[in-house]
Amino acid sequence: MKKILLVTCLIFSLLSPSFCKAEFQDSARVLGYSGIAFVGTLLIHESGHYVALKYLFPQDVNNVHIHFDTWPAKVSYYDHGLGTGKENFIHLSGFIFTRSAAETIDASNLNSKFASFIYLFTRFDMPRYVLSSALKQFIDYPHPGGDVHSVIKSWAPNENNQILIYTSLLTAMIVDIYFDRKEIKKHLSRIFF
Domain count, the chain: 1
Mean residue pLDDT of the chain comes to 78
Tens of pLDDT, residue by residue over 44-86, are 888 888 888 877 777 766 666 666 655 556 666 656 566 778 8
Query: Please, which pLDDT band fits residue 112 given cuts at 50, 70 and 90?
Result: confident
> What pLDDT score does 34 carry?
80
3-state SS, residue 165: helix
> Does residue 182 surpass a pLDDT of 60?
yes
Rounded (10°) angle between helices 159-179 and 146-155: 130
**Per-residue burial over 44-83, b = 16 or more CB atoms within 10 Å of its CB, e = otherwise:** bbbbbbbbbbeeebeebbeebeeeeeeeeeebebeeeebe
Spatial separation of the C-alpha atoms in residues 67 and 69, rounded to whole Å: 5
> What pLDDT score does 20 carry?
47
> What pLDDT score does 183 carry?
92
Spatial separation of the C-alpha atoms in residues 193 and 183, rounded to whole Å: 15
Ramachandran class of 73: left when φ > 0, alpha when ψ lies in -120 to 50, beta otherwise: beta
Which residue range is the domain that position 54 belongs to? 2-192
Query: Please, which pLDDT band fits residue 98 given cuts at 50, 70 and 90?
Result: very high
Query: Please, which pLDDT band fits residue 119 given cuts at 50, 70 and 90?
Result: very high
**What spatial distance separates the first Cα and last Cα of the chain, rounded to whole Å?**
36
